[in-house]
Amino acid sequence: MAVSGPDTLVIVRDVDSLRRRIAAWRRDDLKVALVPTMGALHKGHLALVQRGLQLCDRVVATIFVNPKQFGPNEDFGAYPRQESEDFQLLAAAGVSLLFAPDVAAMYPPGFATSVRVAGLSEELDGAHRPGHFDGVATVVTKLLLQACPDAALFGEKDYQQLAIIKRLQTDLNIPVDIVGVPTMRDADGLALSSRNAYLTADERALAPALHKAIVAAAASIAEGGDIAAALTTAKAAIAAAGFGRIDYVEARHADTLAPLQNATEPGRVLAAAHLGRARLIDNVAIQR
């Protein structure tokens, strides 16, 4: 079998083919990075690829819209799917291999295992999306074991997801470096997300208010301001901007995600709020 170079993107849909390709690279002593995605790619995903190429010789991307991480009333059916556009973007970015299995290949009949990171998965987004992080943890564990990469890259935009993946990697002794990559934003501050496609033009214009509000809260906490007051002010600003339901605006410890006690701890302000059909999440560091 020919070993595909970094410039030729090959797509595989089953685990045996994925492993055969990666095994050939391993025989040549090449390091492999994994970039798991659900497709509908944007510059945030391409930043993960770029970081992967800095750390390793070959990047494998995955596209799988994982049904197990969507609740019954969530957007699994509507989630944007655009594999041929994604393929072009990944090829141009220097990805060598795309793993794009269908649901039956990932979850064949009889599939009965679930990975659950207790505690962390029930907080914040987990409280509003029951079972979501079990679905994420299960599919990410599978992808890590299927590809056995040297490094796997995830965006900091999904900060809680990143914390959960780091936890499961440690707890299950999976031999991989989990690498977080800073959030990519539009010029007005809106975090890039595949779900931004749900925003109307009017909603898109007011969406950056979420980022602005949490940046202001983080600055106030960093300057020694009262944490609860800063979060209340942020919620009021998000509501005043025209958002609908606010699921949470919280200040948490950057590593454990426990409620932040004071600004001397490494902290993060995290928020989730609804805007039209979209549920936007974002987070920023509290920098003293």
Q: Which residues bind ligand PAF (CB under 6 A)?
A: 36-38, 66, 69, 136, 139-140, 158, 161
Cβ distance to ligand PAF smaller for residue 113 or 264? 113
Cβ distance to ligand PAF smaller for residue 66 or 121? 66
**Residue (of 69, 70, 153) closest to 114 by Cα position:** 69
Q: How far apart are alpha carbons 131 and 119 in whole angstroms?
A: 12
Q: How far apart are alpha carbons 38 and 59 in whole angstroms?
A: 16
Cβ distance to ligand PAF smaller for residue 69 or 220? 69
Which are the catalytic amino acids? 45
Give helix 227-241 / helix 209-222 axis angle, nearest 10°: 160
**DSSP state, residue 256:** T
Shortest separation between residue 110's beta carbon and ligand PAF, angstroms: 21
- DSSP E strand stretches across the chain: 10-12, 32-37, 58-63, 97-99, 151-155, 177-181, 246-253, 267-275, 278-286
Cβ distance to ligand PAF smaller for residue 24 or 76? 76
Do residues 49 and 36 make contact, with C-beta atoms less than 8 angstroms apart? Answer: no
* Overall residue count recorded for the chain in this entry: 288
Dihedral sign for Cα 143, 144, 149, 153, please: positive
- Which residues contact residue 90 at a Cβ distance below 8 angstroms, ignoring those fewer than 6 apart? 9, 41, 49, 61, 98
Cβ distance to ligand PAF smaller for residue 129 or 252? 129
Q: Which amino acid is at 135?
A: G
Q: How far apart are alpha carbons 131 and 205 in whole angstroms?
A: 32
Cβ distance to ligand PAF smaller for residue 161 or 169? 161
- Backbone φ and ψ of 2, nearest 5°: -75, 140
Shortest separation between residue 149's beta carbon and ligand PAF, angstroms: 13
Can you name the residues that pair with 269 across neighbouring β-strands? 251, 284
